Amino acid sequence: MSKEEGDFYRRIKKQSQEKRWNNNEKSLKILQNKGIEYQILNSSIGHYRIGDFDFWSTTGKFYNRKLKKAGRGVFNLIRFINQYTFEKEQEEYLKNEVRKEVLAQEQKKERLANN
């Protein structure tokens, strides 16, 4: 490899690293503006935890450990978080409704047994 080629690839590598760290800053700013809290797992590589999601802000990659789902992009992550949160809330709501119904049936049986 010639000196010029080596210099060219070093410049490309440096530009790529700068772009990734620029992505890191932009992604974190977007998350903060949306009010999404995150936990820093390893700031030197841009690795964060958002609920059940691992997020690498330099590459935009995210992964949900529970659902075993992956994707890329901070906006896709936000969309996925909103959908996931909605589904969890809906599931919890349905569980509570079933509990209320079971409790009401048990109370009705008690009233009938006491009469």
Q: Which residues contact 28 (CB under 8 A, 6 or more apart)?
A: 38, 48, 57
* 27 contact partners, CB below 8 Å, separation of at least 6: 55, 57, 60, 74
Amino acid letter, residue 5: E
**Measured between alpha carbons, how far is 54 from 42 in angstroms, rounded to an integer?**
11
Which region holds residue 64: left if phi is over 0, alpha if psi is between -120 and 50, else beta? beta
- pLDDT tens-digit series, residues 58-107: 889 999 988 898 999 999 999 988 888 777 778 787 887 878 888 888 88
pLDDT in tens, 20-34: 777 888 999 999 999
Residue 115, pLDDT > 80, answer no
State residue 85's pLDDT score: 79
Number of domains in the chain: 1
Alpha-carbon distance values, 39 to 28, 33, 43 (Å): 11, 16, 10
Q: Rounded to two decimals, what is the model's pTM?
A: 0.64
DSSP-assigned beta bridge partners for residue 15: none
Show the domain range for 93.
Answer: 3-114
